[in-house]
Amino acid sequence: MIPTAITLVLAALGATASPVEPRAADGLNTRAVAAGKQYFGSATDNGELTDSAYVAGLSNTADFGQITPGNSMKWDTIEPSRGTFNYANGDVIANLAAKNGQYLRCHTLVWYNQLPSWVTNGGFDNATLISILKNHITNEVTHYKGKCLHWDVVNEALNEDGTYRTNVFYNTIGPAYIPIAFAAAAAADPSAKLYYNDYNIEAAGAKSTGAQNIVKLVKAYGAKIDGVGMQAHLIVGSTGSESVSAWTTNMNAFTALGVDVAITELDIRTNTPATAAAVTQQAKDYATVIQGCKAVARCVGMTIWDYTDKYSWIPSVFSGQGAALPWDENLNKKAAVYDAMMSAWGTGTGTTPTATPTASVPASSTTTTAAPATSSAASGGTVPKWGQCGGIGWTGPTQCVAGTTCTKGNDYYSQCL
């Protein structure tokens, strides 16, 4: 082998050449981490794990640094009959995350849906149902102790007007079932971050206020609550197209209560087949959500609700709608959407997290309190459409490509639109 110039110079100086550390592969997770977040991740489910091409994409940690089990940790799967627990399906996904070195968001302990009939129709009195609730949470959280970065402890406890949803727990125990659940989860795994999770709380309004009141309720009972998950099941050009400042204002209303926020189930659906105009708007909407999270220091990460249209839940629930995810039904990236998301995260110098043992939650799970990170690009040149062109601390180019204008989203982020 002919020595390189660097090797020859080092040899002349009596030094030894050492290999250059390779840069981590670029992707959505790499860029999210570089922007100061803990992860960009995807939900998954057991049935699709037989699809080897799908699993290969899910296991690419440049794009996905975290996995959420869509159904395999819900009550009807874990405790189908009273006192009988089955963790087989949940363990498959937990083990996959561990194998890949990905974080695991555990979902969900208490939800009015997907409950076995023995819970909903048991006719239990207050004391008995509290005992059942605590026992279920204690068993499940103990089983996954040290493996879950976050737990969605209570899911969808609110009506659209911000009042409590009636369900077997609320009807029997009252709103106290919520702090009781959080206290039980905290006792079983003190290291896990505990979240309340709901949809349609992404924008300011009655339901967002109701979710803030749940944070206050749990704290008033002296129980631990670490974060609020905004599901973000959005619609192209409708929800999801709010300004970045609308996202940040609403998120900051939660963080002002002393909790983190996370985007937990993001997808942005449209009528199918999707038109070119819809895809263009969808790309913009995904970028807006990312910019909102990016600008809020305590928005710790983002999860899409599976990464490919091939396994999306949308078509089976919303007739005539779908095409909601950044990868199509053939597991190919939608270039316009993916590129817009990459640009929205910015070009940082962070690297993909190394593999983390599942025996303990990674150290980076501690609350992020630093000021919002700003990306830096090489000076000079022009910024492509959707790219960052300004903001506090921005040192990159500010001239947008022809046909776009540098538009302020907030003090920390301006974008070529």
The closest of 176, 191, 292 to 234, measured between CA atoms, is: 292
Q: What confidence score (pLDDT) does residue 406 get?
A: 80
Q: CB under 8 Å to 22, separation ≥6 — which residues? A: none
- Kindly indicate the confidence band of residue 67, based on its pLDDT and cuts at 50, 70 and 90: very high
Are 296 and 409 part of one and the same domain?
A: no
Q: How many domains does the chain have?
A: 2
The closest of 93, 108, 190, 99 to 154, measured between CA atoms, is: 108
Any domain includes 372: no
Are 284 and 393 part of one and the same domain?
A: no
Any domain includes 17: no
How far, in Å, CA of 226 to CA of 242, rounded? Answer: 26
Are 407 and 297 part of one and the same domain?
A: no
Q: CB under 8 Å to 303, separation ≥6 — which residues? A: 39, 40, 41, 42, 43, 66, 68, 105, 262, 263, 264, 265, 266
Token digits for 64? 């996905």
In this predicted model, what pLDDT tens digit does every residue of 25-34 receive, in sequence order? 899 999 999 9
Are 291 and 197 part of one and the same domain?
A: yes
Are 394 and 256 part of one and the same domain?
A: no
In this predicted model, what pLDDT tens digit does every residue of 118-138 receive, in sequence order? 999 999 999 999 999 999 999
In the predicted structure, residue 51 carries a pLDDT above the cut 90: yes
In this predicted model, what pLDDT tens digit does every residue of 394-417 receive, in sequence order? 556 788 777 778 876 544 446 566
Any domain includes 363: no
Long-range contact pairs involving 319-325 (C-beta distance under 8 Å, separation at least 24): 320/271, 320/272, 321/269, 321/270, 321/271, 321/272, 322/269, 322/270, 322/272, 323/269, 323/270, 323/272, 323/273, 323/274, 323/278, 323/279, 323/282, 324/267, 324/268, 324/269, 324/270, 325/267
Are 391 and 297 part of one and the same domain?
A: no
In the predicted structure, residue 240 carries a pLDDT above the cut 60: no
Confirm whether 48 is a catalytic residue: no
Q: What is the pTM of this model?
A: 0.79
Q: What confidence score (pLDDT) does residue 405 get?
A: 80
Are 330 and 400 part of one and the same domain?
A: no
Catalytic one among 79, 140, 242, 265?
265
Q: What confidence score (pLDDT) does residue 239 get?
A: 58
- Kindly indicate the confidence band of residue 348, based on its pLDDT and cuts at 50, 70 and 90: low
- Kindly indicate the confidence band of residue 388, based on its pLDDT and cuts at 50, 70 and 90: low
Any domain includes 164: yes
Are 406 and 286 part of one and the same domain?
A: no
Find out whether 137 and 185 touch, Cβ atoms under 8 Å.
yes
Are 296 and 238 part of one and the same domain?
A: yes
The closest of 386, 383, 413, 380 to 401, measured between CA atoms, is: 383
Print the domain residue range for 332.
28-345
Are 331 and 405 part of one and the same domain?
A: no
Are 290 and 405 part of one and the same domain?
A: no
Q: What confidence score (pLDDT) does residue 17 get?
A: 38
Domain boundary among 345, 362, 379: 345
Are 315 and 403 part of one and the same domain?
A: no
Any domain includes 360: no
Any domain includes 351: no
Q: What confidence score (pLDDT) does residue 415 get?
A: 57
Q: Which of 131-157 are b and which e, b meaning 16 or more Cβ less than 10 Å from the residue's Cβ?
A: ebbbebbeebbebbbebbbbbbbbbbb
The fraction of the chain above a pLDDT of 90, given in percent, is 75
Strand partners, 271: 321
Q: What confidence score (pLDDT) does residue 282 get?
A: 95
Any domain includes 14: no
Q: What confidence score (pLDDT) does residue 403 get?
A: 73
Any domain includes 356: no
Q: What confidence score (pLDDT) does residue 10 get?
A: 35
What one-character DSSP code corresponds to residue 254? H
Q: What CATH number does the domain containing 230 carry? A: 3.20.20.80
Q: What confidence score (pLDDT) does residue 384 get?
A: 59
Q: What confidence score (pLDDT) does residue 402 get?
A: 79
